[in-house]
Amino acid sequence: MQVVLVEPGKAARITEIGEDLQDMQEIVGGLIQALYPWEDPAAIVCNDEGKIMGLPLNRVLEDYDIITGTFFICGIQGENFSSLTEQQLQSLPTPCYLLDEAQLRRNGQIMLELQQRTGCRALLAQKAFSNFDVYPVLAPYLAGTEASGLYESRLGKEELPEKENHVFCAAYRADEFAELLQYADHIVFNSPSQLAKFGPAAKAAGKSVGLRLNPECSTQEGHAIYDPCAPGSRLGTTRAQWDAAVQADPALPELLDGLHFHTLCEQDADALALTLAAVEAKFGGLLPRMKWLNFGGGHHITRPGYRLATLEQCITETQKKYGVQVYLEPGEAWALNAGYLVTTVLDTLQNGETSLVILDMSAACHTPDVIEMPYRPPLLDAGDPGEKPYLIRLGGPTCLAGDVVGDYSFASPLTEGQRLIFGDMAIYTTCKNNTFNGMPLPPIWAMDENGTCRELVKFGYSDFKMRLGRAVD
Protein backbone atom coordinates (compact mmCIF):
# COMPACT_ATOMS: atom_id res chain seq x y z
CA MET A 1 0.00 0.00 0.00
CA GLN A 2 1.05 3.61 -0.55
CA VAL A 3 1.89 5.65 2.55
CA VAL A 4 3.57 8.86 3.65
CA LEU A 5 6.72 7.80 5.52
CA VAL A 6 8.07 10.17 8.18
CA GLU A 7 11.50 9.38 9.60
CA PRO A 8 13.10 11.52 12.34
CA GLY A 9 15.19 14.34 10.90
CA LYS A 10 14.18 13.58 7.32
CA ALA A 11 11.65 15.04 4.91
CA ALA A 12 8.40 13.11 4.58
CA ARG A 13 8.15 11.01 1.43
CA ILE A 14 5.58 8.87 -0.38
CA THR A 15 6.54 5.20 -0.67
CA GLU A 16 5.12 1.69 -1.00
CA ILE A 17 5.13 -0.71 1.95
CA GLY A 18 3.84 -4.23 2.51
CA GLU A 19 0.39 -4.72 4.07
CA ASP A 20 1.41 -7.52 6.45
CA LEU A 21 1.58 -6.75 10.16
CA GLN A 22 5.25 -7.78 10.24
CA ASP A 23 6.08 -5.23 7.52
CA MET A 24 4.43 -2.43 9.47
CA GLN A 25 6.11 -3.45 12.73
CA GLU A 26 9.52 -3.44 11.08
CA ILE A 27 9.00 0.12 9.82
CA VAL A 28 8.01 1.58 13.22
CA GLY A 29 10.32 -0.69 15.21
CA GLY A 30 7.80 -2.53 17.36
CA LEU A 31 4.09 -3.05 18.11
CA ILE A 32 1.93 -0.71 16.05
CA GLN A 33 -0.66 1.81 17.22
CA ALA A 34 -2.99 3.73 14.91
CA LEU A 35 -4.23 7.26 15.61
CA TYR A 36 -7.08 9.01 13.78
CA PRO A 37 -6.58 12.78 14.30
CA TRP A 38 -8.30 14.01 11.15
CA GLU A 39 -11.83 13.92 9.76
CA ASP A 40 -10.73 12.26 6.52
CA PRO A 41 -10.13 8.50 6.47
CA ALA A 42 -6.44 8.50 7.27
CA ALA A 43 -4.43 7.15 10.16
CA ILE A 44 -1.05 7.76 11.78
CA VAL A 45 0.63 4.41 12.44
CA CYS A 46 3.42 4.56 15.02
CA ASN A 47 5.23 2.48 17.66
CA ASP A 48 2.86 1.73 20.54
CA GLU A 49 5.72 1.40 23.03
CA GLY A 50 8.07 4.00 21.53
CA LYS A 51 8.28 6.15 24.67
CA ILE A 52 8.92 3.12 26.87
CA MET A 53 11.67 1.98 24.50
CA GLY A 54 13.27 5.43 24.67
CA LEU A 55 12.77 6.31 21.02
CA PRO A 56 13.11 10.04 20.29
CA LEU A 57 10.00 12.15 19.75
CA ASN A 58 9.21 12.78 16.11
CA ARG A 59 8.82 16.57 16.02
CA VAL A 60 7.02 16.63 12.68
CA LEU A 61 3.71 16.41 14.60
CA GLU A 62 4.36 18.45 17.72
CA ASP A 63 0.81 18.09 19.07
CA TYR A 64 1.34 14.37 19.60
CA ASP A 65 3.89 13.63 22.30
CA ILE A 66 3.38 9.88 21.99
CA ILE A 67 4.68 9.67 18.42
CA THR A 68 8.26 8.53 18.52
CA GLY A 69 10.74 7.33 15.94
CA THR A 70 9.50 6.51 12.45
CA PHE A 71 5.80 6.61 11.64
CA PHE A 72 3.67 6.56 8.50
CA ILE A 73 0.31 7.92 7.38
CA CYS A 74 -2.11 5.77 5.41
CA GLY A 75 -5.74 5.90 4.29
CA ILE A 76 -7.09 2.96 6.24
CA GLN A 77 -10.67 3.03 4.98
CA GLY A 78 -9.63 3.49 1.40
CA GLU A 79 -7.37 0.47 1.61
CA ASN A 80 -10.28 -1.67 2.76
CA PHE A 81 -11.89 -1.31 -0.67
CA SER A 82 -8.87 -0.97 -2.94
CA SER A 83 -8.66 -4.56 -4.17
CA LEU A 84 -12.00 -4.50 -5.99
CA THR A 85 -11.76 -3.18 -9.54
CA GLU A 86 -14.61 -1.44 -11.34
CA GLN A 87 -14.89 -4.41 -13.71
CA GLN A 88 -15.20 -6.84 -10.81
CA LEU A 89 -17.72 -4.59 -9.10
CA GLN A 90 -19.97 -4.52 -12.15
CA SER A 91 -19.75 -8.29 -12.62
CA LEU A 92 -21.11 -9.09 -9.16
CA PRO A 93 -24.86 -9.59 -8.64
CA THR A 94 -26.53 -7.30 -6.14
CA PRO A 95 -27.14 -7.41 -3.32
CA CYS A 96 -24.10 -9.58 -2.68
CA TYR A 97 -21.80 -10.34 0.24
CA LEU A 98 -18.13 -10.49 -0.72
CA LEU A 99 -15.59 -12.05 1.68
CA ASP A 100 -11.99 -10.83 1.47
CA GLU A 101 -9.60 -13.74 2.03
CA ALA A 102 -6.52 -11.51 2.11
CA GLN A 103 -7.93 -9.51 5.03
CA LEU A 104 -8.94 -12.73 6.80
CA ARG A 105 -5.31 -13.86 6.58
CA ARG A 106 -4.05 -10.50 7.86
CA ASN A 107 -6.39 -10.73 10.84
CA GLY A 108 -5.39 -14.35 11.38
CA GLN A 109 -1.70 -13.45 11.41
CA ILE A 110 -2.26 -10.86 14.15
CA MET A 111 -4.15 -13.45 16.20
CA LEU A 112 -1.47 -16.10 15.64
CA GLU A 113 1.35 -13.79 16.72
CA LEU A 114 -0.62 -12.90 19.85
CA GLN A 115 -0.92 -16.59 20.71
CA GLN A 116 2.76 -17.20 20.03
CA ARG A 117 3.88 -14.30 22.25
CA THR A 118 1.59 -15.08 25.20
CA GLY A 119 0.72 -18.76 25.06
CA CYS A 120 -3.01 -18.05 25.03
CA ARG A 121 -5.35 -19.97 22.74
CA ALA A 122 -7.72 -18.05 20.44
CA LEU A 123 -11.04 -19.47 19.28
CA LEU A 124 -13.36 -18.35 16.48
CA ALA A 125 -16.78 -17.36 17.86
CA GLN A 126 -19.01 -18.67 15.09
CA LYS A 127 -21.94 -16.51 16.17
CA ALA A 128 -20.13 -13.59 14.51
CA PHE A 129 -18.67 -15.40 11.50
CA SER A 130 -19.68 -18.87 10.36
CA ASN A 131 -18.86 -18.92 6.63
CA PHE A 132 -17.32 -22.37 6.69
CA ASP A 133 -16.23 -22.26 3.04
CA VAL A 134 -13.39 -19.99 4.14
CA TYR A 135 -12.59 -21.78 7.41
CA PRO A 136 -9.51 -23.26 5.68
CA VAL A 137 -8.21 -19.69 5.29
CA LEU A 138 -8.36 -19.15 9.07
CA ALA A 139 -7.43 -22.69 10.13
CA PRO A 140 -3.64 -22.12 10.35
CA TYR A 141 -4.15 -19.28 12.81
CA LEU A 142 -6.86 -20.43 15.24
CA ALA A 143 -6.88 -22.94 18.10
CA GLY A 144 -10.50 -23.92 17.65
CA THR A 145 -14.09 -22.77 17.46
CA GLU A 146 -16.59 -21.48 19.97
CA ALA A 147 -20.28 -22.33 19.64
CA SER A 148 -23.49 -21.02 21.16
CA GLY A 149 -25.35 -24.28 20.86
CA LEU A 150 -25.67 -27.66 19.20
CA TYR A 151 -25.64 -26.68 15.54
CA GLU A 152 -22.64 -24.35 15.77
CA SER A 153 -20.74 -26.97 17.74
CA ARG A 154 -21.52 -29.56 15.07
CA LEU A 155 -20.43 -27.15 12.34
CA GLY A 156 -17.09 -26.59 14.05
CA LYS A 157 -16.57 -30.32 14.45
CA GLU A 158 -17.46 -31.08 10.83
CA GLU A 159 -15.41 -28.31 9.25
CA LEU A 160 -12.45 -28.15 11.65
CA PRO A 161 -12.31 -31.62 13.20
CA GLU A 162 -8.67 -31.28 14.26
CA LYS A 163 -9.32 -28.09 16.28
CA GLU A 164 -10.70 -27.58 19.78
CA ASN A 165 -14.48 -27.31 20.05
CA HIS A 166 -15.93 -25.11 22.82
CA VAL A 167 -19.58 -24.41 23.54
CA PHE A 168 -21.55 -22.11 25.83
CA CYS A 169 -25.33 -21.93 25.99
CA ALA A 170 -27.58 -20.11 28.43
CA ALA A 171 -29.45 -23.40 28.95
CA TYR A 172 -28.97 -26.81 27.34
CA ARG A 173 -31.78 -29.12 26.23
CA ALA A 174 -31.87 -32.60 27.69
CA ASP A 175 -32.88 -34.09 24.33
CA GLU A 176 -29.80 -32.54 22.63
CA PHE A 177 -27.10 -32.96 25.24
CA ALA A 178 -26.04 -36.50 24.32
CA GLU A 179 -25.42 -35.38 20.72
CA LEU A 180 -23.54 -32.29 21.91
CA LEU A 181 -21.13 -34.55 23.79
CA GLN A 182 -20.11 -36.01 20.42
CA TYR A 183 -18.77 -32.64 19.26
CA ALA A 184 -17.69 -30.42 22.13
CA ASP A 185 -14.40 -30.59 24.07
CA HIS A 186 -15.17 -27.74 26.50
CA ILE A 187 -18.72 -27.26 27.77
CA VAL A 188 -19.50 -24.07 29.71
CA PHE A 189 -22.64 -23.80 31.80
CA ASN A 190 -24.51 -20.61 32.57
CA SER A 191 -25.83 -21.43 36.04
CA PRO A 192 -25.11 -23.71 38.99
CA SER A 193 -28.36 -25.58 38.31
CA GLN A 194 -27.28 -26.36 34.73
CA LEU A 195 -23.86 -27.38 36.03
CA ALA A 196 -25.48 -29.76 38.53
CA LYS A 197 -27.87 -31.17 35.92
CA PHE A 198 -25.47 -31.80 33.03
CA GLY A 199 -21.99 -31.49 34.53
CA PRO A 200 -21.67 -35.13 35.72
CA ALA A 201 -22.53 -36.48 32.25
CA ALA A 202 -20.03 -34.10 30.65
CA LYS A 203 -17.29 -35.18 33.08
CA ALA A 204 -18.10 -38.84 32.52
CA ALA A 205 -17.69 -38.27 28.77
CA GLY A 206 -14.23 -36.81 29.35
CA LYS A 207 -15.19 -33.20 28.61
CA SER A 208 -13.68 -30.13 30.26
CA VAL A 209 -16.40 -28.40 32.27
CA GLY A 210 -16.70 -24.69 32.97
CA LEU A 211 -19.03 -22.10 34.48
CA ARG A 212 -19.76 -18.66 33.06
CA LEU A 213 -19.33 -15.88 35.60
CA ASN A 214 -21.07 -12.54 35.89
CA PRO A 215 -18.55 -10.22 37.58
CA GLU A 216 -21.22 -7.50 37.78
CA CYS A 217 -18.88 -5.02 36.14
CA SER A 218 -20.46 -3.22 33.21
CA THR A 219 -18.19 -1.52 30.67
CA GLN A 220 -20.84 -0.95 27.99
CA GLU A 221 -22.03 2.40 26.70
CA GLY A 222 -24.81 2.98 24.22
CA HIS A 223 -25.94 -0.57 23.47
CA ALA A 224 -27.45 -2.20 26.54
CA ILE A 225 -28.77 -5.07 24.41
CA TYR A 226 -25.18 -6.37 24.33
CA ASP A 227 -24.38 -5.83 28.03
CA PRO A 228 -24.20 -9.18 29.88
CA CYS A 229 -23.49 -7.37 33.17
CA ALA A 230 -26.60 -5.19 33.15
CA PRO A 231 -28.76 -5.47 36.29
CA GLY A 232 -31.02 -8.51 36.07
CA SER A 233 -28.92 -10.14 33.35
CA ARG A 234 -29.70 -13.75 32.47
CA LEU A 235 -26.08 -14.42 31.47
CA GLY A 236 -23.47 -15.67 33.89
CA THR A 237 -23.41 -16.59 37.58
CA THR A 238 -22.99 -13.89 40.21
CA ARG A 239 -21.00 -14.51 43.37
CA ALA A 240 -24.18 -14.52 45.45
CA GLN A 241 -25.74 -17.15 43.18
CA TRP A 242 -22.60 -19.30 43.38
CA ASP A 243 -22.33 -19.10 47.16
CA ALA A 244 -25.98 -20.08 47.60
CA ALA A 245 -25.57 -23.03 45.21
CA VAL A 246 -22.43 -24.34 46.96
CA GLN A 247 -24.09 -24.07 50.34
CA ALA A 248 -26.88 -26.29 49.03
CA ASP A 249 -24.47 -28.67 47.19
CA PRO A 250 -20.88 -28.55 48.55
CA ALA A 251 -19.66 -31.02 45.87
CA LEU A 252 -20.50 -28.62 43.03
CA PRO A 253 -16.99 -27.04 42.74
CA GLU A 254 -15.48 -30.48 42.08
CA LEU A 255 -17.17 -30.52 38.68
CA LEU A 256 -15.32 -27.43 37.46
CA ASP A 257 -12.19 -27.40 35.30
CA GLY A 258 -12.39 -23.75 34.32
CA LEU A 259 -14.21 -20.43 34.46
CA HIS A 260 -15.53 -18.21 31.69
CA PHE A 261 -16.59 -14.59 31.42
CA HIS A 262 -17.80 -12.59 28.44
CA THR A 263 -18.56 -8.96 29.17
CA LEU A 264 -17.13 -6.97 26.24
CA CYS A 265 -18.51 -5.81 22.88
CA GLU A 266 -16.20 -4.25 20.28
CA GLN A 267 -13.98 -2.91 23.07
CA ASP A 268 -10.32 -2.25 23.74
CA ALA A 269 -8.08 -3.94 26.27
CA ASP A 270 -8.61 -1.30 28.96
CA ALA A 271 -12.17 -2.62 29.39
CA LEU A 272 -10.77 -6.14 29.71
CA ALA A 273 -8.33 -5.03 32.41
CA LEU A 274 -11.20 -3.47 34.37
CA THR A 275 -13.31 -6.61 33.99
CA LEU A 276 -10.45 -8.91 34.95
CA ALA A 277 -9.92 -6.96 38.17
CA ALA A 278 -13.61 -7.43 38.98
CA VAL A 279 -13.39 -11.17 38.24
CA GLU A 280 -10.44 -11.49 40.62
CA ALA A 281 -12.20 -9.49 43.32
CA LYS A 282 -15.37 -11.60 43.08
CA PHE A 283 -14.01 -15.05 42.18
CA GLY A 284 -10.27 -14.91 42.80
CA GLY A 285 -10.54 -17.63 45.45
CA LEU A 286 -11.71 -20.13 42.84
CA LEU A 287 -8.98 -19.49 40.27
CA PRO A 288 -6.04 -21.41 41.82
CA ARG A 289 -8.06 -24.63 41.45
CA MET A 290 -8.85 -24.05 37.77
CA LYS A 291 -7.08 -25.42 34.68
CA TRP A 292 -8.23 -22.62 32.38
CA LEU A 293 -9.83 -19.18 32.29
CA ASN A 294 -11.75 -18.02 29.22
CA PHE A 295 -11.75 -14.24 28.69
CA GLY A 296 -14.69 -14.50 26.28
CA GLY A 297 -15.10 -12.32 23.21
CA GLY A 298 -15.74 -8.72 22.25
CA HIS A 299 -12.01 -7.98 22.02
CA HIS A 300 -11.40 -5.80 18.92
CA ILE A 301 -7.85 -7.13 18.64
CA THR A 302 -7.34 -6.61 14.90
CA ARG A 303 -8.69 -3.05 14.85
CA PRO A 304 -5.95 -0.51 14.07
CA GLY A 305 -4.89 1.11 17.31
CA TYR A 306 -6.04 -1.70 19.60
CA ARG A 307 -3.83 -1.82 22.70
CA LEU A 308 -2.21 -5.20 22.21
CA ALA A 309 0.35 -4.54 24.93
CA THR A 310 -2.39 -4.22 27.56
CA LEU A 311 -4.10 -7.39 26.37
CA GLU A 312 -0.84 -9.31 26.43
CA GLN A 313 -0.12 -8.10 29.94
CA CYS A 314 -3.56 -9.29 31.11
CA ILE A 315 -2.96 -12.71 29.58
CA THR A 316 0.60 -13.30 30.78
CA GLU A 317 0.04 -12.02 34.31
CA THR A 318 -3.12 -14.13 34.73
CA GLN A 319 -1.44 -17.29 33.47
CA LYS A 320 1.59 -16.74 35.70
CA LYS A 321 -0.42 -15.84 38.81
CA TYR A 322 -2.95 -18.69 38.68
CA GLY A 323 -1.28 -21.32 36.50
CA VAL A 324 -4.25 -21.38 34.10
CA GLN A 325 -4.49 -21.64 30.34
CA VAL A 326 -6.08 -18.44 29.03
CA TYR A 327 -8.56 -18.68 26.16
CA LEU A 328 -9.96 -15.89 24.00
CA GLU A 329 -13.05 -16.37 21.84
CA PRO A 330 -13.52 -13.27 19.66
CA GLY A 331 -15.60 -13.45 16.51
CA GLU A 332 -15.29 -9.99 15.04
CA ALA A 333 -11.50 -9.82 15.42
CA TRP A 334 -11.07 -12.71 12.98
CA ALA A 335 -13.24 -11.18 10.25
CA LEU A 336 -13.01 -7.43 10.97
CA ASN A 337 -13.05 -5.42 7.72
CA ALA A 338 -12.94 -8.69 5.78
CA GLY A 339 -16.22 -8.42 3.91
CA TYR A 340 -18.33 -6.10 1.79
CA LEU A 341 -21.97 -5.80 0.80
CA VAL A 342 -22.45 -4.63 -2.78
CA THR A 343 -25.81 -3.03 -3.49
CA THR A 344 -27.61 -1.11 -6.26
CA VAL A 345 -29.74 2.05 -6.10
CA LEU A 346 -33.32 1.16 -7.11
CA ASP A 347 -34.99 4.55 -6.69
CA THR A 348 -34.37 8.12 -5.52
CA LEU A 349 -36.94 10.14 -3.51
CA GLN A 350 -37.36 13.58 -1.97
CA ASN A 351 -39.53 13.96 1.13
CA GLY A 352 -39.46 17.59 2.21
CA GLU A 353 -35.87 18.43 3.07
CA THR A 354 -34.81 14.77 3.15
CA SER A 355 -33.21 13.13 0.12
CA LEU A 356 -33.73 9.38 0.12
CA VAL A 357 -32.51 6.36 -1.81
CA ILE A 358 -34.04 2.87 -1.92
CA LEU A 359 -31.39 0.14 -2.23
CA ASP A 360 -31.79 -3.50 -3.19
CA MET A 361 -30.35 -4.47 0.22
CA SER A 362 -32.25 -4.26 3.48
CA ALA A 363 -30.85 -3.18 6.83
CA ALA A 364 -33.55 -5.23 8.57
CA CYS A 365 -32.88 -8.39 6.56
CA HIS A 366 -29.25 -8.28 5.50
CA THR A 367 -27.44 -6.19 8.14
CA PRO A 368 -29.62 -6.54 11.26
CA ASP A 369 -26.94 -5.16 13.62
CA VAL A 370 -27.36 -1.79 11.88
CA ILE A 371 -30.75 -1.61 13.61
CA GLU A 372 -30.18 -3.74 16.71
CA MET A 373 -26.86 -2.39 17.96
CA PRO A 374 -27.07 0.20 16.32
CA TYR A 375 -24.12 0.03 13.95
CA ARG A 376 -23.05 2.37 11.15
CA PRO A 377 -21.13 0.52 8.43
CA PRO A 378 -18.44 2.31 6.41
CA LEU A 379 -19.44 3.17 2.83
CA LEU A 380 -16.98 3.68 -0.01
CA ASP A 381 -16.78 7.28 -1.30
CA ALA A 382 -19.26 8.51 1.32
CA GLY A 383 -18.84 10.62 4.44
CA ASP A 384 -20.63 11.55 7.62
CA PRO A 385 -23.44 14.15 7.52
CA GLY A 386 -21.97 17.56 6.70
CA GLU A 387 -18.71 16.15 5.39
CA LYS A 388 -19.75 16.26 1.71
CA PRO A 389 -22.31 18.45 -0.13
CA TYR A 390 -25.19 15.98 -0.63
CA LEU A 391 -26.83 14.33 2.38
CA ILE A 392 -28.82 11.20 1.51
CA ARG A 393 -30.72 8.71 3.68
CA LEU A 394 -30.16 5.12 2.54
CA GLY A 395 -32.97 2.63 3.09
CA GLY A 396 -34.13 -0.80 2.03
CA PRO A 397 -37.17 -1.99 0.04
CA THR A 398 -39.12 -3.69 2.87
CA CYS A 399 -42.36 -2.42 4.41
CA LEU A 400 -40.61 -1.68 7.75
CA ALA A 401 -40.50 2.11 8.14
CA GLY A 402 -37.26 1.81 10.10
CA ASP A 403 -35.47 -0.21 7.40
CA VAL A 404 -32.77 2.46 7.17
CA VAL A 405 -29.01 2.02 6.99
CA GLY A 406 -28.30 5.64 7.87
CA ASP A 407 -27.59 9.15 6.58
CA TYR A 408 -24.44 9.52 4.47
CA SER A 409 -23.01 12.45 2.55
CA PHE A 410 -21.79 12.26 -1.06
CA ALA A 411 -19.89 14.46 -3.51
CA SER A 412 -22.82 14.28 -5.97
CA PRO A 413 -26.41 12.97 -5.98
CA LEU A 414 -26.92 9.23 -6.31
CA THR A 415 -28.66 7.90 -9.42
CA GLU A 416 -30.75 4.85 -10.21
CA GLY A 417 -28.56 1.87 -11.10
CA GLN A 418 -25.52 3.18 -9.22
CA ARG A 419 -23.61 0.63 -7.14
CA LEU A 420 -22.48 1.18 -3.56
CA ILE A 421 -20.10 -0.85 -1.42
CA PHE A 422 -20.52 -1.16 2.35
CA GLY A 423 -17.46 -2.26 4.30
CA ASP A 424 -17.01 -4.48 7.37
CA MET A 425 -19.82 -6.77 6.23
CA ALA A 426 -18.35 -10.17 7.09
CA ILE A 427 -19.42 -10.07 10.75
CA TYR A 428 -22.97 -10.54 12.04
CA THR A 429 -24.43 -10.43 8.53
CA THR A 430 -24.62 -13.79 6.78
CA CYS A 431 -25.09 -15.54 10.14
CA LYS A 432 -27.91 -13.19 11.25
CA ASN A 433 -29.74 -12.31 8.04
CA ASN A 434 -33.36 -13.27 7.41
CA THR A 435 -36.08 -13.40 4.75
CA PHE A 436 -38.61 -10.97 6.27
CA ASN A 437 -41.02 -9.70 3.61
CA GLY A 438 -39.86 -12.50 1.34
CA MET A 439 -36.58 -10.67 0.76
CA PRO A 440 -34.11 -12.92 -1.06
CA LEU A 441 -30.91 -13.79 0.77
CA PRO A 442 -27.91 -12.23 -0.98
CA PRO A 443 -25.47 -14.69 -2.56
CA ILE A 444 -22.10 -15.05 -0.85
CA TRP A 445 -18.92 -14.59 -2.88
CA ALA A 446 -15.25 -14.66 -1.94
CA MET A 447 -12.26 -12.72 -3.27
CA ASP A 448 -8.84 -14.38 -3.07
CA GLU A 449 -5.45 -12.73 -2.58
CA ASN A 450 -5.14 -12.14 -6.33
CA GLY A 451 -8.46 -10.27 -6.51
CA THR A 452 -10.30 -13.13 -8.23
CA CYS A 453 -13.96 -13.35 -7.18
CA ARG A 454 -15.93 -16.61 -7.04
CA GLU A 455 -19.43 -17.53 -5.93
CA LEU A 456 -19.66 -19.65 -2.79
CA VAL A 457 -23.43 -20.05 -2.52
CA LYS A 458 -26.59 -18.71 -4.16
CA PHE A 459 -30.08 -18.63 -2.61
CA GLY A 460 -33.54 -18.64 -4.13
CA TYR A 461 -37.27 -18.93 -3.50
CA SER A 462 -36.95 -22.35 -1.89
CA ASP A 463 -34.72 -20.94 0.87
CA PHE A 464 -37.55 -18.58 1.80
CA LYS A 465 -40.39 -21.10 1.51
CA MET A 466 -38.77 -24.08 3.24
CA ARG A 467 -38.51 -22.17 6.52
CA LEU A 468 -42.25 -21.66 6.66
CA GLY A 469 -43.79 -24.98 5.76
CA ARG A 470 -43.48 -28.07 3.61
CA ALA A 471 -40.15 -28.31 1.84
CA VAL A 472 -40.21 -27.48 -1.86
CA ASP A 473 -39.92 -30.52 -4.13
Q: Are strands 186-189 and 164-168 parallel, antiparallel or unpaired?
A: parallel
In this model, does residue 73 exceed pLDDT 90? no
CB distance 200 to 179 below 8 Å: no
266 or 356, which is more confident?
A: 356
Q: Please tell me the predicted confidence (pLDDT) of residue 22.
A: 73
DSSP letter assigned to residue 154? H
Q: Range of 322's domain?
A: 119-335
Q: How far apart are CA 418 and CA 358, in angstroms?
A: 11
Q: How far apart are CA 157 and CA 181, in angstroms?
A: 11
pLDDT in tens, 106-161: 999 999 999 999 999 999 999 999 999 999 999 999 999 999 999 999 999 999 99
pLDDT in tens, 242-281: 999 999 999 999 999 999 999 999 899 999 999 999 999 9
Task: Give, in order, the Cα–Cα distances in Å from 238 to each of 28, 191, 251, 295.
Answer: 44, 9, 18, 16
Q: How far apart are CA 470 and CA 438, in angstroms?
A: 16
Q: Are residues 325 and 365 in the same domain?
A: no
Residue 462 phi/psi, 5° resolution?
-60, -30
* 3-state SS, residue 6: strand
Q: Are residues 240 and 214 in the same domain?
A: yes
Q: Is residue 79 part of a domain?
A: no
Q: Please tell me the predicted confidence (pLDDT) of residue 450.
A: 85
Q: Are residues 282 and 367 in the same domain?
A: no
79 or 125, which is more confident?
A: 125
Alpha helices in 119-189 (DSSP H): 135-138, 150-159, 174-180
Q: Is residue 82 part of a domain?
A: no
Q: Supply the mean pLDDT for the chain.
A: 91
Confidence of residue 233 (pLDDT cuts 50, 70, 90): very high
Where is average pLDDT lowest: 13-17, 187-191, 463-467? Answer: 13-17
Residues 6+ apart with CB under 8 A from 257: 208, 209, 210, 290, 291, 292
Q: Is residue 24 part of a domain?
A: yes
Please choose, from the candidates 149, 102, 107, 158, the residue with its C-alpha nearest in 3D space to the C-alpha of residue 127. 149
In this model, does residue 221 exceed pLDDT 90? no
Mean pLDDT of 2-29: 77
**Residue 221 CB-density burial (10 A; 0-12 exposed, 13-18 middle, 19+ buried):** exposed
Q: Left if phi > 0, otherwise alpha if psi is -120 to 50, otherwise beta: which for 51? A: alpha
Residue 108 phi/psi, 5° resolution?
-60, -40
CA 327 to chain centre: 16
Q: Are residues 136 and 45 in the same domain?
A: no
Q: How many domains does the chain have?
A: 3
Q: Are residues 156 and 245 in the same domain?
A: yes
Q: What is the CATH number of the domain that holds 205?
A: 3.20.20.10
